Amino acid sequence: MGFRKKNKSPPVLSHEFVIQNHADMVSCLAMIILLGLMFEVTAKFAIMFITVQYNVTQVLDEKSEPVNLYQYGPKDVATVFFYLLIAVILHALIQEYILDKMNRRLHLSKTKHSKFNESGQLAAFYLFSFIWGCSILTAEDFATNPTFLWEGYPHTHMVFQVKFFYICQIAYWLHALPELYFQKVRKEDIPRQLYYICLYVVHITGAYVLNLHRLGLVLLVPHYLVELLFHASRLFYFSDENKQKGFTLWALLFVIARLLTLTLSVLTFGFGLPRTENQGFSLAEGNFNVLTVRMTCLAAICLTQAWMMWKFINFQLKKWREHSQNQASKKKTVSPKSKPHKREPTRGGAANGVVKSEDKTSPRARKAKAS
């Protein structure tokens, strides 16, 4: 299927060819994996890419029915790879059928065009992830029982929704790396985007591997809400520069989210996990409840929050300086009260209301005197 209308045909396998046709190429690769399910020889390999692996049947009570729970393992890499392909395809669909049409109407500059595409993609992802995360937290009843963040650690078993949520999260942020090339992101924007993409990959993967998926989920949901508000506000700003009220609400929620993240992290790593029964380090059991791991995780979260606050403060100061300069320039353009100018002499020889006498030495005066 073609996602883009191509006017020119660049050389096969050239950079421009790959960029224009990357969605089609990825779609073909995903279709090959899906076709593998049709044959018995390849089905056992194809299913490893498509379905969630490492399911465990567990009986909670004697009277209750068995529950299917999931663990993580090396085969999750194949699953992440397949959903990375799906993320690339969805990215191309949103770009082609939504963002490109909006860009043609707005007539944005190259700089705003790039930021508009970035915010449009991220806003769609944050909205979907926020709704999905809220539905999972509602089932967990975190609001009434916050101690579930550390009770029963290590949390080696996950329900299907939690594991699939983490698989999709890791796949999405990994797909953002090749998209820097596919979308022709400007060189000056690449370092900034690389920073936050790598931070997402490290933190989400760390929470998944260290069996801290409960804490990771609780921290991601409010963070995604704040980021959704920021990128939605930026989209409205690009459509109309007078619409800036969303940034004020975003600034308030940003600070609250940072404080909430630090509070829950200190509470979990400094108070909850040190008091649980299972203390020690065991890869087989998935137990990482030792002082070194706890302090490393807490330091990583605190440093990330400090870096985000530093960027936030610099952003606000820059906006404040720009606002002050705009206000100063407006005051300079307003002219001061004009002073009364001297009236020019009238034809009758009057100047400023005073009639001047004729010059005695003029030719007319000498003629009159002679007569």
pLDDT tens figures, 297-325: 999 999 999 999 999 999 889 888 877 88
Q: Are strands 280-282 and 287-289 parallel, antiparallel or unpaired?
A: antiparallel
Taken as a whole, the chain contains a residue count of: 371
Q: How far is CA 349 from CA 340, 342, 346, 353, 369, in A?
A: 21, 15, 6, 10, 21
- Tens of pLDDT, residues 80-135: 999 999 999 999 999 999 999 998 888 888 888 889 999 999 999 999 999 999 99
Question: What is the chain's mean pLDDT, rounded?
Answer: 86
Residue with tokens 């990771």: 216
What is the distance between the alpha carbons of residues 262 and 225, in angstroms, rounded to a whole number? Answer: 17
pLDDT (mean) for 157-168 = 95
Phi then psi dihedrals of residue 187, to 5 deg: -60, -35
Assess contact for 134 and 221: CB atoms under 8 A. Answer: yes
Residue 60's pLDDT is 66
For the record, the structure tokens of 153 come out as 């650690």
In this model, does residue 199 exceed pLDDT 90? yes
Which residues are within 8 A (CB) of 126 and not within 5 positions of it... i.e. 6 or more apart? 224, 225, 227, 228, 231
> For residue 127, how far is the Cα from the chain centroid?
11
Is residue 344 over pLDDT 50? Answer: no
Q: Strand 350-351 to strand 287-289: parallel, antiparallel, or no bridges (unpaired)?
A: unpaired
More confident position, 321 or 327: 321
Q: What is the pLDDT of residue 168?
A: 97
Confidence of residue 256 (pLDDT cuts 50, 70, 90): very high
Output 163 or 19, whichever has higher pLDDT. Answer: 163
40-89: pLDDT as tens digits:
999 999 999 999 999 988 776 666 678 889 999 999 999 999 999 999 99
Report how far residue 313's alpha carbon sits from residue 328's, in angstroms, rounded to the nearest whole number. 22
Q: Is 46 helix (H, G, I), strand (E, B) or coil?
A: helix
